[in-house]
Amino acid sequence: MPKSALLVIDVQNDFTEGGSLAVKGGNRTAGAITQFIRERRGDYAIVVASRDWHSPVGDNGGHFAAKPDFVSTWPVHCVEGTPGAAYNPALEANLIDVQVFKGSGSPAYSAFEANTPGGSSLTEVLERARVQHIDLVGIATDHCVRATALDALAAGYSVTVLLDKCVGVATGTTIAAVNEMRVAGAKVALGS
């Protein structure tokens, strides 16, 4: 039977209510992901969580802007070592096997652009665990979840996006992202 991984995308304080780039429903999603992992941990060879981890110096390759367009430029968020870059408290970090960090000094949306503190890429982590299938949950459906799903499919993994364990920034862009992921070959399902 193919081995599966659960990828938890960017469930961080700055992306949940009260954060600098808050997504409505982020706190609820963090709690739902924790409950899901508790109930379904045995289904996965590995649970990996990604985090935005931006440099405190400069604009991170144009990613931060004083007047962001919310398309390719954003307010300052998830600066490494700050409370905003920490996991949302409703996500129990002890349930995560491996953490990967992305975006230090440059824009990064996909968890496939991330590395462990020891320098291993997400692909290397998944290969070591002999993963063939990925379930995706997290924030935001229309940005980092989307980018991760598309990169996972391009890398040859089968992908399921668990929509009830994700939250998007806006309805229109979330619908477009879900359709794009489906067309690219992702299965879209509910995780419960």
Average pLDDT, the chain: 95
Vertex 96: Cα angle to 78 and 90 (nearest 5) = 60
User: What's this model's pTM, rounded to 2 decimal places?
Assistant: 0.95
pLDDT given for residue 3 in this prediction: 94
Under DSSP, is residue 143 helix (H, G, I), strand (E, B) or coil? Answer: helix
14 is a catalytic site residue: no
144 is a catalytic site residue: yes
pLDDT given for residue 71 in this prediction: 86
Domain architecture of the chain: domains with CATH: 3-189 (3.40.50.850)
69 is a catalytic site residue: no
Q: Which of the following is catalytic: 144, 151, 165, 166?
A: 144
Q: Which of the following is catalytic: 52, 102, 135, 166?
A: 102
pLDDT given for residue 181 in this prediction: 97
**Run means of pLDDT, 10 residues per run, the chain, 192 residues:** 91 97 96 97 97 94 91 92 97 97 94 97 97 97 97 98 96 95 94 58
pLDDT given for residue 160 in this prediction: 97
User: Exposed/middle/buried for 188, CB within 10 Å: 0-12, 13-18, 19+?
Assistant: middle
pLDDT given for residue 108 in this prediction: 94
Among 171, 168, 166, CA closest to 188: 166
